[in-house]
Structure 1
Amino acid sequence: MRHNRGDVLVRAHQLVSRYGLGALTMRRLGAELGVQPSAIYHHFANKQTLLAAVAEEILRQGSRARTCERDDWTGRLREVCSELRDAMLACTDGADVVATVWAFGMGAQAPAAELEDVLRDAGLDDGLALVGSRTLLHYVFGHAFEEQTAIQAVAAGAVERDLASLPDFWTGLDVVIDGLRARLP
């Protein structure tokens, strides 16, 4: 059976969602699709480009319409950060996948660009908007990664931890936003 790029991406996303990033190998993906692993390379040049497509799919599936007004820059930041966090948490190892692809500069750039735009609209210059966007991303990536790791470890019985002991996402986000607000002209 012939598969198209979309079929391969859907199955790759399913593998990561169900079993985690470690399950995404070309061999396993080929087996899932009933093809030789080399057939996947007709659609994706290498595993990195496949992973980038999976990251974009994670973000696409988690996207939501914006509800905050343009002049409510703190609300807009919260919306973007919340959407990113929820999208990553909806997929096993989603934080690892999205953060890795973003760090490699291979994709998952939309949240960063949107955060920069919001910060520029708020009045920060280009340099501070870039630093602020990266700081927010690092916070969201790190928090989501910690949440996913703790949830998976507890579910596997590897650790006993009260998940309520995780740091509050919203309080931490407000601390970062307060710091950005202090930099406004």
Structure 2
Amino acid sequence: MANSLDDVVQAAMRVLDAWGLEFFSMRRLAGELGVQPSALYHHVRDKQTLLGLMADRIVAGVRIDEDLVASCRRLRDAMLAVRDGAEVVATASAFRFDLTGLESRFAAFTSADVARTLLIYVMGHTQASQLHRQAADLGLIAPDPDLDASFERGLRIILR
């Protein structure tokens, strides 16, 4: 039975969870699906396109509304819930993939510039927090108890 695009994205999320983005590869994904790597290119043009689909999956359920602080918290939580989720979303954003219209969804409640600034801040802070937490979990560094509070302070500064 042939795999669907949804099968490929689901498997990609499993590989990401097991190996992290650093060791995520199309070859490893193909192994997860039991196919040759070339078979993946029937579904996605390249790895960057797949990362965009994965980012869409990570942020798809995030509700954005007039409470921009709560919306940013929900986005952060969605990225933190997936191993290297913030890096996947930030990478897709850097390539200007749509991310389920995330930027325009924020811009519906503020200006385009504020929406872009919020997204860059949320992705960057979350990516740094996620990396810090992973290193602390491995015992490489001491945990930073101020990560959540510093996120909140930064949001307040931007929205002032």
- Structure-2-length-normalised TM-score: 0.91
Question: Which residue of structure 1 aligns with residue 2 of structure 2?
Answer: 2
After TM superposition, give the deviation of residue 80 of structure 1 in Å: 2.1
Q: Select the residue among 165, 168, 185 that pairs with 2:146.
A: 165
CA distance in 1, matches of 2:34, 2:104: 38
Question: Which residue of structure 2 aligns with residue 15 of structure 1?
Answer: 15
5 Å-filtered alignment, 1:1-185, equals 1-60=1-60, 62-64=61-63, 73=66, 76-108=67-99, 110-119=101-110, 129-159=111-141, 161-166=142-147, 167-178=149-160
- What amino acid is the match of 2:40? I
Contact 1:80-1:114 at 8 Å conserved across structures: no
Which is higher, the Rg of structure 1 or of structure 2? 1
Aligned CA-pair RMSD: 1.7
Identity %: 40
Q: How many residues align?
A: 159
Contact 2:9-2:53 at 8 Å conserved across structures: yes
Contact 2:86-2:127 at 8 Å conserved across structures: yes
Gaps of 5+ in 2: none
CA distance in 2, matches of 1:135, 1:7: 34
- Structure-1-length-normalised TM-score: 0.79
CA distance in 2, matches of 1:8, 1:97: 16
